[in-house]
Amino acid sequence: MPTATFLPGYRKAVVPSGTTILDAARAAGLPMNVVCGGQGKCGKCLVFIKDGTVSFDTEDCRRFFSNNEIASGACLACRATIVGDVRVEVPAESLIQEQKILVEIPGMKEVPLKPAVWKYEVHLTPPSLDDTTPDLARLLEGIEGQEGPPPNRIYAPLEVLRYLPQVLRRSGWHVTGTVALVPGGYRLLNVDEGDTTGRLYGAAVDLGTTTVVAYIRSLTDGRVLATASNYNRQISCGEDILSRVNFARKSGLSRLQQLAAESINESLKSASDAGGIDLEEIFEVVIAGNTVMTHLLLGIDPSYMIAEPYIPVVRRMLSTAAGRIGIAAHRNAGVYTFPAVSNFIGGDIIADILASGMADRDEVSLMVDIGTNFEAVLGNRDWMLSCAGAAGPALEGGEVLFGMRANPGAIERVRVDAGTLTPSYSTINGIRPRGICGSGLIDLIAELIRACVIDRTGQINLEIDNPRIRRGPYHPEFVVAWKKETSIGKDIVITENDIRNLIMSKAAIHGACMTLLDAAGLTPRDIGRIYFSGAFGNYLNKENAITIGLIPEVPLERVENIGNGAIAGANIALVNRERRKALDGIALRITYIELNTEPSFMDRYTSSCFLPHTDLALFPHVQ
């Protein structure tokens, strides 16, 4: 079989002839950028063939690469197949870049510690001819009277019964039993020798499309012992949800299930190492993920979500044993996944709602979670409306000339001096700028409005006599950083076209919020609180978000970032069984509004395609 050698690290993979370079790179452990999931549509998997034999159609490459690049061996890793031994150079930009992962929960809500798992230390009287009580009954009698579930409702599975007699006798009849609340009753998960009551742990996990975050907590006192994060390894099979579902459809479901479990395990392993915890002592794992991620983790086919009539297999909270889906915890540990409302309002949004507390209050709140897609939920303890849509990639740096994700070197904060028009900015990791990420783009537009560089349609005023304002090769542009300041050897600019794309993205979100308000017969004045969830919201300047009309105008003190709401909600459901039990009820209370079929959405969207809006009465405090 041919050997593929990848430069510059000289990683190798021996693969059958006919394997794509992308699959060979995966086999060699290289995290390639595959935005389109390997369909030849994004051009992000650029590699250079240094020597060897490969087969590909140069027409596939012409859409993305210049003749010079093709002459230097450029091709798409997903389209080129290996014929013989080959050496391939992988440029840094074709690999997934290190990204800022939001692990923190600002002002994490403390909820009463009421876990759904208990440990019982028991000293038992050994059996005798006068006392022939069977081992299990003896153990359950020992538990009798301790705080927790009634012993007569505890079910003991066969596998525990198989080792129980040895453990009881080896320990001299001094053991610790672990019991969990499971659907339909209580289950004996494990029996240890001696006293292990001080070591009872649980894990809360945010299984995102891009990243995974895990918290390990003591379930005896609620302390957070360690946190960890990493990429979702499924990225190698496609960057977005649709690519993953398509990969699953082409016999890739078990691979995606395995990758989801491995991704979670990577975080659990790092956190358990940091916290000095044995993974075998984790007895509960609560996972919040969107509807597709939850299906994939459980090995449930998500294909029908992308075909008419677009339905998931299941929406309710599910539980299974860690050992059944390959999660690195005690094999009998209960794994719980959050319920969903629809294909688009998944368990991560239910976790946001739980974390915000909006489902417990009378006042009306609006929750917005922004990424390439956005989700919005409006309501209170009695009712909730939700919707979701595509914000377009602009807020994550796509379709913006120098836009980029929140990776090192991204400009994340910007001020512009209204007199000199000189920007001051900060970058992620404080290194020389490479581009601008979403929070920086929102700052920039708000500052350019204040400095009167752009008008309400986003047009750049070329009449202003300043070297930063100029006609670019395609569109008017504003120079944010001169070439000598950057690490890419070019001026970093924002163009009028970029601003147009950003306006369309923000208009989709604002239009959706207004559609929800309309449906509820409310106005922005009725909103008691707006919550931003997710990484994007966390780094967002609230005032600038209102200035550009991303969200309805409310007093700034009513806008709150809840950070990673998915992990915050998973934490709450981990430590408090009553809150966990309420989740299905919350999901059932939420009505989903399909924006594509909601006639008022398009009007709302169009009205929002201005800075901040066509109707300035909606933004009375924006100048």
DSSP-assigned states of every residue in 148-192: SS-GGGEE--HHHHHHHHHHHHHTTSEEEEEEEEETTEEEEEEEE
Q: Which is nearer to ligand FES, 44 or 315 (CB)?
A: 44
Say whether residue 237 binds ligand FES (CB under 6 A). no
- Contact residue for ligand FES among 7, 42, 314, 519 (CB under 6 A): 42
Q: Which of 36, 298, 364, 370 binds ligand FES (CB under 6 A)?
A: 36
Nearer to ligand FES, 49 or 416 (CB): 49
Least gap, CB of 66 to ligand FES (angstroms): 16
CA angle 192–198–200, rounded 5-degree value: 70
* 31 near ligand FES, rule: CB under 6 A: no
Give min distance, CB of 72 to ligand FES, in A.
18
Nearer to ligand FES, 66 or 429 (CB): 66
Q: Is 393 in the site for ligand FES (CB under 6 A)?
A: no
Q: Which is nearer to ligand FES, 46 or 213 (CB)?
A: 46
CB of 78 to ligand FES, least distance (A): 3
Closest CA to 483 of 475, 493, 497, 496: 493
Judged by CB under 6 A, the stretch of 40-48, 364-372, 374-382, 579-587 that binds ligand FES is: 40-48
Choose the binding region for ligand FES from 41-49, 86-94, 321-329, 350-358 (rule: CB under 6 A): 41-49
Q: Which residues pair with 175 in a beta bridge?
A: 122, 193
Give the burial string for 224-246 (b: 16+ CB within 10 Å, else e): bebbbbbbbbbbbbbbbbebbbb
How far is Cα of residue 397 from the mean position of the Cα atoms in its chain? Answer: 17
Identify whether the C-beta of residue 550 lies closer than 8 Å to the C-beta of residue 542: no
The reply to whether 142 sits near ligand FES by the rule CB under 6 A is no
Closer Cβ to ligand FES, 56 or 120, answer by number? 56
- Residue 277 binds to ligand FES (criterion: CB under 6 A): no
Q: Listing from the earlier edge strand, what are the strands of the sheet with 410-416?
A: 423-427, 410-416, 435-436
- Cis peptide before 150, with omega less than 30 degrees from 0? no
The residue among 56 and 344 lying less far from ligand FES, judged by its C-beta, is: 56
Stretch near ligand FES under the rule CB under 6 A, chosen from 6-14, 28-36, 533-541, 548-556: 28-36
Output the smallest distance, CB 490 to ligand FES, in A: 24
Distance of CA 606 to the CA centre of its chain: 29
Tokens representing residue 380 in the block: 């209170």
> Among residues 44 and 506, whose Cβ is nearest to ligand FES?
44
Compute the least distance from the CB of residue 168 to ligand FES, in Å. 57
Nearest in space to 561 (alpha carbons), one of 536, 537, 535, 528: 537
The piece of 37-45, 370-378, 409-417, 508-516 that touches ligand FES (CB under 6 A) is 37-45
Which part of the chain contacts ligand FES (CB under 6 A), choosing from 32-40, 372-380, 488-496, 582-590? 32-40
Q: Which is nearer to ligand FES, 32 or 140 (CB)?
A: 32
Q: Is the CA virtual torsion 285, 288, 294, 297 positive or negative?
A: negative
d(CA 353, CA 347): 10
Q: Between 40 and 52, whose beta carbon lies closer to ligand FES?
A: 40
Question: Going residue by residue from 69 to 98, which x/- string records binding to ligand FES, judged by CB under 6 A?
Answer: -------x-x--------------------
Taking CB under 6 A as the criterion, the residue among 43, 299, 334, 423 binding ligand FES is 43
Closest separation in Å from C-beta 536 to ligand FES: 24
Q: Which two tokens stand for residue 231?
A: 């990429």
- Answer yes or no: are the C-beta atoms of 400 and 410 closer than 8 Å: no
What span, in angstroms and rounded, lies between the C-alpha atoms of 180 and 322?
A: 13
Taking CB under 6 A as the criterion, the residue among 24, 28, 30, 35 binding ligand FES is: 35
- Find the shortest distance in angstroms from Cβ 110 to ligand FES: 44
163: which 2 tokens? 């080792």
Which amino acid belongs to residue 584? D
What does the alpha-carbon distance between residue 102 and residue 120 come to, in Å, rounded to a whole number? 37
Residue number, 61 or 168, with CB nearest to ligand FES: 61
Q: What's at 86, amino acid-wise?
A: V
Q: Does position 40 bind ligand FES by CB under 6 A?
A: yes
Identify which range of 30-38, 542-550, 558-566, 595-603 contacts ligand FES by CB under 6 A.
30-38
- Minimum distance of ligand FES from residue 79's CB (angstroms): 7
Per-residue interface string for the shown chain with ligand FES, residues 465-504, x marking contact by CB under 6 A: ----------------------------------------
Burial (0-12, 13-18, 19+ Cβ within 10 Å), 424: exposed
Pick between residue 35 and residue 245 the one whose CB is nearest to ligand FES. Answer: 35
Cβ 203 vs Cβ 574: under 8 Å: yes
- SS3 call for 506: helix
Residue 94's CB: how many other CB atoms inside 10 A? 21
Of 36-44, 51-59, 192-200, 569-577, which segment contacts ligand FES by CB under 6 A? 36-44
Q: Residue holding tokens 């960890």? A: 228
Measured at the CA of 157, the angle between CA 154 and CA 160, to 5 degrees, comes to: 105
Judged by beta carbon, residue 11 or residue 41, the one nearer ligand FES is 41
Rounded Cα distance between 354 and 346, Å, is 13
Shortest distance in whole angstroms from residue 423 CB to ligand FES: 33
Report the alpha-carbon distance of residue 235 to residue 407 in Å, rounded: 16
CA–CA gap between residue 412 and residue 157 (Å, rounded): 53
Judged by the rule CB under 6 A, the positions of this chain that interact with ligand FES are: 34-36, 38, 40-45, 76, 78
